[in-house]
Amino acid sequence: MSKFAKLASFASLGLVIIPSLLYFAGSLELDAMKWAILVGTACWFIAATLWMSH
Amino acid sequence: MTNTSDADALTKSSSSEFERERVPDSALLGDSKFWGMYAGEHAAGTEFMIGPLFLAAGASLSDLILGLLLGNFLAVLTWRFLVVPIAMEKRLTLYYQLERIAGGSLVKFYNLVNGLLFCFLAGAMVTVSASAVGVPFGVVFDVPANMFGFSNWQFTSLVVIVGITIAVVAAGGYERVAHMANIAAPWMIAVFAVCGIVSLGQMQVTSLSAFSRGDFWSDAIAFVQEKNGPQTFSFWQIVVFAWLCNGAMHFGMADLSIFRFARNKSAGWAPAVGMFLGHYVAWISAALLLAALIKLTPELAIGADGKVSANPGVLAFQSLGWTGIICVVIAGWTTANPTIYRAGLAFQGIFPKSSRTAMTLVAGIVSTVAGAFPNLSAQLLGFVGTYGTVLGPMGAVIFVDFYLMKKFGLREEYAVHSHSRMNVAVMVAWLLPVAVGLYFILVQGLFAAYAVIPCWVVCAVMYLLLSKFIQKPNRF
């Protein structure tokens, strides 16, 4: 469980960083990028809480 | 600037065990603990405030990039070669070392000053958090002309609500907030980097040549200067500010309390991660947020007084949407909370019979009052320099006591050996240079960070000379 949560939390960080790079490269609209990093943020706090609370 | 993290939990839990004794070998920690701690500690709410202030003050982009690089490097060296050797040799807290050198009464006064400065720092964070909370409600963050002027009543009400909430949470318990900050730290560092990437994208600075031309930056500075009047912020101001904005922690030796747990001297390099993520990437990214706001929606960068002001909430919201708001609130909250907690502990040191909860609430009220004056947070560049000027010289006392007293035939840790509650040599050596430094900062308008090292050196020399006259060998 903890291993999966760690993996999910790192993927969430990717969901925060990668959309910004895609926006920078002109491959993603600003609004879509904002929603993507918000989802990444929510996922990070759920996944990181699961393994960092132990 | 500082945030809560492993270090606070580490310092708090361990200090209750080793507050007045050497840290035993069994309690020493490996380097990784320190790297993790400093990474989180310097990704704080203040970064959202400080970064844009460089642009608003007229710093050039190349000066900022190179100046921060050099200044942060010097800060890391100071931690490694000034703080760590003493911390690992003595393995005592700053407060206990000071008590042994300066006496209990003087340490109480130091605690009062320290606590009040903590409250002003927390107040700036309350302002930052309130600026973000206000964005969804359309509450505007106006910076008044006077240093002690209020913003509009809606913003002031928001500051009171945010300040009281933070104070009550800090008074109620520390561990939950420290835990929350630990969880948020890696995400916050990522969001700081994203701020810079998105801002550059918004300004269509997507190539190295566009970045190196720097038109987006010089246009933003021209806009600020047109509204706020001409200002300059030189390369050396940037270097000295980056070096000494944490002057109380390294020159002032506050981080002796952290590094007393270090197993290896190499732990002293750990502040590098905090400096180059928090005080480099984050500051530059936050400055880029303001440049993007000025380019895309300049009307949002102008306050009611017609001047450009850095509103962290608006800056983050325009580039990152709700993630930006969440980041500013969490960054401000997780910085203000431990700072109020530390201020409460400092006040409790003055009134040992009082409860920690009561003293934390007192610290929270003082912080909230400070937060209600937005100009204090707008003056953060000056404030942190003043903070280092006031507290830094006490580090000189510890340095002289550790390295020079025996060499000059003097007694180290004089207060404990002479059973004195007040070492006059320390008191004069600390307060006189600080008073002169404050005069130059507050009256003559000296850039505050410039005063840190002169005050530190004068304090060291005075402490040595005064000890020569004051110490009485027959008292031992």
Nearest by CB: A34 against B190, B206, B323: B323
Q: How far is B194 from chain A (nearest CA, A)?
A: 6
Tell me the shortest Cα–Cα distance from A3 to chain B, in angstroms.
16
Residue type, B116: L
Residue to test with chain B: of A15, A27, A41, A53, most B Cβ within 10 A = A41
Q: What is the pTM of this model?
A: 0.89
CA distance B132 to B320: 12
Question: What value, to the nearest 5°, has the Cα angle with vertex B335 and ends A37 and B241?
Answer: 100
Give the per-residue pLDDT at B228: 87
Is the distance from CB of B248 to CB of B448 less than 8 angstroms? no
Using an 8 Å CB-CB cutoff, list residues of chain B that contact chain A.
Answer: 179, 182-184, 186-187, 190-191, 193-194, 197-198, 200-202, 206, 320-323, 326
Any idea how long chain B is? Answer: 476
Alpha-carbon torsion (B274, B430, B343, B54), positive or negative? negative
C-alpha distances in Å from residue B397, one per residue of B98, B109, B113, B260: 8, 15, 17, 18
In this complex, the residue of A30, A35, A52 whose CB is nearest that of residue B182 is A52
User: Closest Cα partner for B27 from B9, B46, B14?
Assistant: B14
Q: Per residue in B214-233, pLDDT tens?
A: 999 999 999 999 988 888 89
- Pairs across A and B, CB distance < 8 A: 63
Q: Which residues of chain B have pLDDT under 70?
A: 1-17, 173-174, 176, 473-476
> Chain B closest CA to A20's CA: distance in Å?
6
- Pick among A9, A29, A37 to test the B interface (most B CBs inside 10 A): A37
- Subunit contact B323:A38, Cβ cutoff 8 A: yes
Q: Which residue of B has its CA nearest to A44?
A: B187
- Determine whether the interchain pair B198/A23 forms a contact, defined as Cβ–Cβ distance below 8 Å: yes
The pLDDT value recorded for residue B113 is 92
- pLDDT, position A54: 66
For residue A44, the model assigns a pLDDT of: 95
Which residue bears the tokens 């969880």?
A: B183
Distance, in Å, from the CA atom of B344 to the CA atom of B395, rounded to the nearest integer, reads: 22
pLDDT at res. B217: 95
Residue B316: closest C-alpha in chain A: A34
Contacts of A30 in chain B (CB under 8 A): 198, 202
Q: Does residue B199 contact residue B389 with C-beta atoms inside 8 Å?
A: no
Give start and end residues of each alpha helix (H) in B43-174: 46-56, 61-78, 84-90, 94-102, 104-137, 153-172
CA distance B474 to B476: 6
Q: Which residues of B touch A13 (CB under 8 A)?
A: 186-187, 190
Cβ neighbours of A32 in B, within 8 Å? none
Binary contact (A53, B186; C-beta < 8 A)? no
Within 13 A of B17's CA, how many CA atoms are on the CB side? 11
* Interface touch B198/A33, C-beta < 8 Å: yes
pLDDT for the residue B14: 44
Instruction: Please check whether residue B16 is in contact with residue B344, taking contact to mean a CB–CB distance below 8 angstroms.
Output: no
Q: Would you call A30 and B202 a contact, using CB atoms and an 8 Å cutoff? A: yes
Cross-strand partners of B29: B262
Q: For residue B302, list its beta bridge partners.
A: B308
Taking the C-alpha atoms of residue B343 and residue B359, their distance in angstroms, rounded to an integer, is 8
pLDDT of residue B344: 85
> Searching chain B, which residue's CA lies closest to the CA of residue A26?
B201
Exposure of B208 by Cβ count < 10 A (0-12 exposed, 13-18 middle, 19+ buried)?
Answer: exposed
Cβ-defined contact of B193 to A17 (cutoff 8 Å): yes
**Helix, strand, or coil here: B59?**
coil
> In angstroms, how far is CA B416 from the centroid of its own chain?
31
What are the structure tokens assigned to B268, written together? Answer: 């002293």
> Residue B302: what are its φ and ψ, rounded to 5°?
-105, 130
